[in-house]
Amino acid sequence: MRSSDASEFVRRAESRLLELSIEAQRAEWVYATYINPDSEALSAKASSRLIGATVELAKQSARLPADGLSPEERRKIRLLKLTLPLIAPSDPAESDELTRLVATMQGTYATWRYAPSGAAEPIDLQGLSRILSESRDPIALAEAWTGWHRVGRRIRNDFPRYVELANRGARELGFPDTGAMWRSKYDMEPDAFAREVERLWQEVRPLYLSLHAYVRRRLATVYGPDLVPPDGPIPAHLLGNMWAQAWDEIYSLVAPTGSDPGLDITGELVARGTTPKEMVQYAERFFVSLGLPPLPASFWERSMFVRPKDREVVCHASAWDIDFADDIRIKMCTEITNDHFATIHHELGHNYYQRAYARQPFLFRDSAHDGFHEALGDTIGLSVTPEYLVTIGLAKEAPDPGREVGVLLRRALEKVAFLPFGLLVDRWRWEVFSGEVGPGDYNRTWWSMRERYQGVRAPSPRGPDDFDPGAKYHVAANVPYMRYFLAHILQFQFHAALARAAGHEGPLSRFSIFGSVEAGRRINAMMEMGASREWPDALEAITGERRMEARGLLDYFAPLKAWLEEENRGHPTGR
């Protein structure tokens, strides 16, 4: 094929994928906001058309010559091959089988129920998770945890064949296996990326160990040393979350005496009669204060801010880019609460990112890498500080920063506690896809990693029939997870860099970019790039740095780290 033919292929591929993507987004929006069998069928058909075309074009692109193509065209071809996290084999029967396997695993996960002792009927994940977050009865906690994890047994037999077929598709695109394909999204060699994330983990590990040691000791006072040993892993069912990936639900058990839990503006919002639309308008004014434009009129006309009374909808908050140009929307069953106030700021971060890169060619209309999109929304969330709330009139005065250990601890239970889990989900899958870990060792290796990285253990004996990775949606549904680990690092790197640019002095936890045009300029410079440049270029635009660093996270939590070290003095640290 001549280079001119390859250039034409890229042009036609972008045009076709844009058309199918808009069709799929419109169909998915209708399904998410009008759930019924017809909208589900239309959404599935549009999604299938898009996935089929993407796989077809990705495989064709693997045969294109690199010579004679511009750097931009070569990058587009590379991104095209990495668009989907799952590539089906060329053989039609194997392709159908792989599609069916993933659908079956997702369906099993979505429909699994378990009836705990005393329950009138089986309970879904949401109900079982509520037990994990609210109960303090270790027997009830263990039963809810074990009951949900039985879903893995239903997925276990399908998983090895899924791995085999997924790898076969990845190899047709020139990748050694699916894990290597996933790691290739990050503008470096797959093995180099694996080393990079391990480096980041080692930077934050001492902070995590201090948090782990403190929480373990406090839980031992609640449940006794027989259940929570002073120097071993923490039983996973005691941490308030089904996967022990965030511990903020047990804050009341570990909070320091007399600490400041942070501002909660729910009462003020309700007293003012704040509407869902006004909640979103607060967030829009945040972005406008950075020098960014107001949201388009279509956003206000087409978004879903409240749960409709006449139909079923998907209430999970999400930001939408319907036409990959101007039609951005938010979908959320807004409640007038402190948490939803922060969530709306996060979701609009996605919308503003989508809007900023809309002028790029279609294959570049995405974030620099998948961690950037999540990190930007979370960066905005870090700026919803007491000082910001005072400035916009939703709080009378900011609490004394000297009493902020409780606020930092609560945030660390959410952000720092997540880091090892965010890393190990894909680390486990990389070893599975590469063949380093075979089916007979799936569960043993999973718990070996969870003890090594998280310092947690299962609350009940695990046998050969168990498949506990399958109790996590992203594993059952073939969704890569590393973006969340990277986002938890990058959001603090972004936040610290913007604080430096603003000349902020004082705790990073009290810095807000609200009103900073310089922060808006840096953010917009990163967002406008989309995926047109390698991620170090985008990182440099907002931070001035070209390497992902954990220093921002460590500086943010430095006061907490000093406090934890004092609290842990004379007690075991580590696992």
Which helix (H) or strand (E) segment holds residue 37: the answer is: helix 37-61
Tell me which of 40, 473, 474, 565 is the catalytic residue: 474
Q: Could you report how far apart the first and last alpha carbons of the chain are, in Å?
A: 58
Evaluate whether 369 touches 185 at the Cβ level (below 8 Å). yes
Q: List beta partners, residue 320.
A: 329
Annotation marks residue 212 as catalytic: no
Active site residue 484: yes
Exactly one of 297, 316, 505, 566 is catalytic; which is it? Answer: 316
Catalytic residue among 347, 412, 453, 499: 347
Tokens (6 digits) for 281: 């308008």
Residues 6+ apart with CB under 8 A from 411: 509, 557
- Name the residue among 232, 220, 237 with its Cα closest to residue 455: 232
Which member of 149, 212, 237, 346 is catalytic? 346
Indicate the SS3 state at residue 467.
coil
DSSP helix/strand/coil, 25:
helix
Map residue 350 onto helix, strand or coil: helix
Spot the catalytic one: 212, 345, 350, 488. Answer: 350
Specify whether 504 is catalytic: no
Is 495 known to be catalytic?
Answer: no
369 assigned to active site: no
User: 149 an active-site residue?
Assistant: no
Catalytic-residue membership of 350? yes
What six digits make up the tokens of 521?
């300029």
Contact 371, 539 (CB under 8 A): no
Closest CA to 300 of 279, 316, 286: 279
Distance CA 428, CA 436 (A): 10
DSSP 81: H
Q: Which of 28, 374, 404, 549 is catalytic?
A: 374
- Select which of 358, 484, 487, 519 is catalytic: 484
**Among residues 153, 241, 557, 559, which one has the least CA distance to residue 421?**
241
SS3 of 365-402: CCCCCHHHHHHHHHHHHHCCCHHHHHHCCCCCCCCCHH
Distances 98 to 80, 164, 180, 522 between C-alpha atoms, Å: 21, 9, 19, 43
Residues 278-309: b if buried by 16+ CB within 10 A, e if exposed: ebbbbbbebbebbebeebeeebeebbbbeeee
Residue of 62, 255, 317, 342 with catalytic role:
317
User: DSSP secondary-structure letter at 114?
Assistant: B
Locate all alpha helices (DSSP H) within 186-289, ordered by sequence: 190-223, 251-254, 266-271, 276-288
Q: What is the dihedral of CA 91, 95, 97, 99, to 10 degrees?
A: 180
Say whether 317 is catalytic.
Answer: yes
- Return the DSSP state at 304: B
Number of Cβ atoms within 10 Å of the Cβ of 546: 13
Catalytic residue set: 316-317, 346-347, 350, 374, 474, 484
